[in-house]
Amino acid sequence: MKVLVVGNGGREHALLWKLSQSPLVKELYCARGNAGTAELAQNVPIEPNQTRALADFAQREGIDFTVVGLESPLVAGIVDEFESRGLAIFGPNSQASQLEGSKAFAKEFMQKYSIPTAEFHTFDEPQRAKSFVKDFGVPVVVKADGLAAGKGVFVCRTYEEAYRAIDHLMVKKSMGQAGSKVIVEEFLEGEEVSYIVLLRGDRYVPLPTSQDHKRLLEGDQGPNTGGMGAYSPAPFVDERTEESIKTQIIDRLIKGLKTEGIEYTGFLYAGLMLTSSGPKVLEFNVRLGDPEAQAILMRLQGDFLETLLDFYRGKEVELKVDPRVSLCVVLASRGYPEKPEDGKEVHGLEKVRALEQVVLFHAGTVEKDRRVYTKGGRVLNVCAWGQTLQEARERAYGTVEKISFEGMYYRRDIGLRALKG
């Protein structure tokens, strides 16, 4: 089979790494890819949001199956375009993708179908948003309505922080149209976990649980990012908690989609806060998380392409999961997430290739004259297996020490909260 993966980051490299293990694969392609994906697939010089150009390419090259990693082409309607041409593609259509494309849509959907989430209010005028904050009190969370690559969420513990976040999004338009409307919601406390499933109609299969580390700085401080590291499984999700997630969130979501006449096929990501009153939804995403995907895909055993194809075709599938723990540390550029530096040469990659129980996934990289340079905020994902979380941490961080580039930054506390209980 000829398989195309759409996206440029670590998640897409991890998808290609897993799909490449399938004997069904004849040729792999990635649009647009990075220096790491080029080692597994043919990088296609088409941007992920160029949906028609990608559909043209898929028709011309006879692509048998496409897997979309990135959210923006999903919201832009890549699935609609492919399906209109009879091309097989794994991902939700543009209507279903509004669960991520518009936080206001998602929150109103959750409210309508009694899916537990934080109390919220939506605003399209900055002064009204500030007046609400003044009356509501702090802490609050301010969110851009549209896509912001994980950077449109601001946890505000003071009034000044909240007002600044509102101005940042609505007045300065720092995230463009994504911030033209904002959601102000109550601050939830608890453990944050990622619960991701394969979903098609009313059938779903849970993937292994994981926990992301979204804030830039150690101790969950600093601005939100696309994610600075993850590990799997998340010990906070016991059987009782997972049953609550299924019955109160996933089942109600499926019922709501059916009632609204929205067809859904693809990955569904529920970002959850495990509060004292039960799990509540922070956000829905319509694709695999990044870097959660890296940790999760490392634990999936068997032929993942065959699993996706069977699920896509309506067959029953059963996942086999590696009992080992996986952990991923993100290496980021100086200036991330606001203004990351590019063009810094990456050293030490050859040393990592020889290591056992370690996988390196590229994110923001580019190759020039057989050398690898940074190109983006999140540059590399250093991932490792271990019999325990502690072992996986030690192996991953030991590997990080072998890699360097000017301005390299990473969190040193990935997984520590689980170890501390």
Cβ-contact 383, 294 below 8 angstroms: yes
Q: Where are the domains of the chain?
A: 2-93, 119-186, 191-321, 325-419
Are 146 and 284 in contact by the 8 Å Cβ rule? The answer is no
Q: Using an 8 Å Cβ cutoff, are 296 and 196 in contact? A: yes
Digit-coded pLDDT (tens) for 33-81: 999 999 999 999 999 999 999 999 999 999 999 999 999 999 999 999 9
Q: How far apart are CA 309 and CA 258, in angstroms?
A: 23
Residues with Cβ within 8 Å of 387's Cβ and at least 6 positions away in sequence, in order, are 324, 325
Q: Give buried/exposed letters for 366-402 (b at 16+ CB in 10 A, else e).
A: bbeeeebbbbbbbbbbbbbbbeebebbbebbbebbee
119-186: CATH number: 3.30.1490.20
The domain made up of 2-93 is a member of CATH 3.40.50.20: yes
Residue recorded with tokens 């694969």: 25
Q: Which CATH class is domain 325-419?
A: alpha beta
Q: Which of 386, 388, 382, 385 is nearest to 412 (CA)?
A: 382
pLDDT value for 277: 95
Cβ proximity of 8 and 47 under 8 Å: no
pTM: 0.95
pLDDT of residue 186: 96
pLDDT of the residue at 420: 82
Strand partners, 320: 301
Q: Which two tokens stand for residue 33?
A: 């890819």
Q: What is the pLDDT of residue 421?
A: 66
What are the residue ranges in the chain where pLDDT is below 50? none
Backbone Cα Rg of the chain = 20
Which tens digit of pLDDT belongs to each residue from 108-150? Answer: 999 999 999 999 999 999 999 999 999 999 999 999 999 988 7
CATH classification for the domain delimited by 191-321, as one of 3.40.50.10540, 3.30.470.20, 3.90.480.10, 3.10.580.10:
3.30.470.20
Q: What is the pLDDT of residue 14?
A: 98
122 in helix, strand or coil? strand
Strands (E), 276-363: 278-285, 300-301, 320-321, 325-332, 358-362
